[in-house]
Amino acid sequence: MSKLWLVCYDVADDKRRTKLAKRIEQRCQRVQYSVFECPLDESALEYQLEKRWLPLLQLSEDNLRVYPLDGTAKQQTRVYGSAPPYEPPDYLIL
């Protein structure tokens, strides 16, 4: 079952930052410059972290944070000036 995750980063190098952002955007919705809402189950999140996102970073200079948002957090979210929290579509067209 999919869970909503808040993913944010601070990456020192422009090239690494751009590459990371593009990879995260493949699975998540950008809500601010370096903040994303990601509806993923835990195994999909772990895969993205271990195989796609973390290998791009230099952890001595960069950081990436992932916060779980449970159902009540999502329902209580207040958004001003942009779209409501990301809702993945019920279907996917390939």
User: Using one digit for the tens of pLDDT, what is the confidence trace for 18-69?
Assistant: 999 999 999 999 999 999 999 899 999 999 999 999 999 999 999 999 999 8
What was the pLDDT predicted at 72?
A: 74
What was the pLDDT predicted at 87?
A: 64
What was the pLDDT predicted at 76?
A: 74
Lookup result for tokens 């993923």: 40
CATH code at 3-70: 3.30.70.240
Q: Is the pLDDT of residue 5 over 60?
A: yes
What was the pLDDT predicted at 84?
A: 66
Instruction: Extract the tokens encoding 58.
Output: 């230099």
Encoded amino acid at 9, one letter: Y
Q: What is the 3-state secondary structure (H, E, C) of the chain?
A: CCEEEEEEEECCCHHHHHHHHHHHHCCCEEEECCEEEEEECHHHHHHHHHHHHHHHCCCCCCEEEEEEECHHHHHHCCCCCCCCCCCCCCCCCC
- Give mean pLDDT, residues 76-91: 68
pTM: 0.80
